[in-house]
Structure formats: structure tokens, C-alpha cells
Amino acid sequence: MERNLTHIALFAALIAVLGLVPKIDLAGGVPITAQSLGIMLCGTVLGARRGALAVLLFLALVAAGLPLLSGGRGGFGVFAGPSVGFLVGFPVAAFVTGWVMQRTTLSPGLSAWAASTIGGIGVLYVFGIVGIALMTGVSIQEASLGAALSFLPGDVVKTVIAGLVTQSLSRMRPASLLSRA
């Protein structure tokens, strides 16, 4: 019981830290925020249920007024802005990522990459694009084009990193992957 709680809390903190670090220069040159990498890792490492709860806890702290979203944003205002769809999609993305991770039997790295692509891009973009379309009045097609042009390259890099990190974790300490426990 306590372990569940502390894992959820520590991964919520990890998502926050990844958004605060100005640019870890993860990919060399490509200016990406690492926050959605945290969402993916929640799913691949903690699994569906705990991963989604960690993301919900993180969002609750953002709503409570801590400036933890990338770029130092926070408070209730972010839920009234154009990226609300992505925020709503975050916990669902972590859940689906964890679910795919738990259901596949490929090597941890490969499943983590596939799971992050399905959850962290596929599912997340559905929410994000619908959010942009609703909030800004552009059509779904135009919103999709905009999201693909501005976020897709960075997010593809992040799914690969999520796969590599999960692979290393499973090699260094197999028991640490709670999604595969």
C-alpha cells in the first residue's frame, strides 16, 4: 500500500522535474520539453493504473497553482487554454501506454517504444487535436496538421528515448519494471 503511494508520488515529481529542467538537450539540438517523456515513462515503468494515477496527481498539483507545466505554466488557467486537450489526454495516454506494456511480451525496450507510440502519440494526439479544434474553432484536419508539424518530430524522439530508458532499467534491475512484475 505504502509502496503504491510513494511510487505514484515520486513519478508525479519526476514528470514535474522533467518540465522544469530548461532543456536537458535530450536529443541534441531539437528543442523539446521532456514533460511528455515523463508521461510515457509513468506508463512503461509503473504500468497502467499507477502510471495514470501519478499523472493525475501531477495535474492536481498544477491545478492547485504550482507552475509545473513546461514553460512554468500552472493554475486553473491552463485548463481553459488551447492545450487543455493534451492535459486531459495525459492520464489516458499513461494508462494506455502502461496497458500495452503489460499486455505485450516483446523485449522491454521494444514494447516500451511501441507502447509510448500508441499511448503517448496516438491516444494523446486524439485528445490534443480535439482540444485545439474546440478551443480555437479550426477544423479537425487543420488542428491535426498543426499538431503534427509542431509536436510530432519531438515526440517521435521521445518514444525512442522512453524505449531506451526502459530497456536500460530492465537490464540493470529487472525488478524495477513494475509494469512487468
Residues forming the site for other proteins (CB under 8 A)? 1-3, 5-14, 16-17, 20-21, 24-28, 37, 41, 45, 57-58, 60-61, 63-68, 71, 73-82, 135-138, 142, 146, 161, 164-165, 168-169, 172-173, 176
CB of 13 to other proteins, least distance (A): 4
Of the pair 68, 93, the CB lying nearest other proteins is at 68
Helices (H), ranges, the chain: 2-20, 35-41, 48-63, 84-103, 108-116, 124-136, 140-172
Q: What is the DSSP letter of 119?
A: I
Cα separation, 49 vs 90, whole angstroms:
13
Collapsing DSSP states into helix, strand and coil, what is residue 133? helix
CA distance 89 to 60: 14
**β-bridge mates for residue 69, sequence order:** 73
92/165 with CB nearer other proteins: 165
User: Can you tell me whether residue 73 is helix, strand or coil?
Assistant: strand
Looking at beta carbons only, is 20 or 92 nearer to other proteins? Answer: 20
Nearer to other proteins by C-beta: 65 or 106? Answer: 65
**Strand ranges (DSSP E) for 54-122?**
none
Q: How far is the CB of 105 from other proteins (least distance, A)?
A: 22
Using DSSP's 3-state secondary structure scheme, residue 144 falls into: helix
Q: How far is the CB of 135 from other proteins (least distance, A)?
A: 6
CB of 141 to other proteins, least distance (A): 13
Q: Min. distance of Cβ 76 from other proteins in angstroms?
A: 4
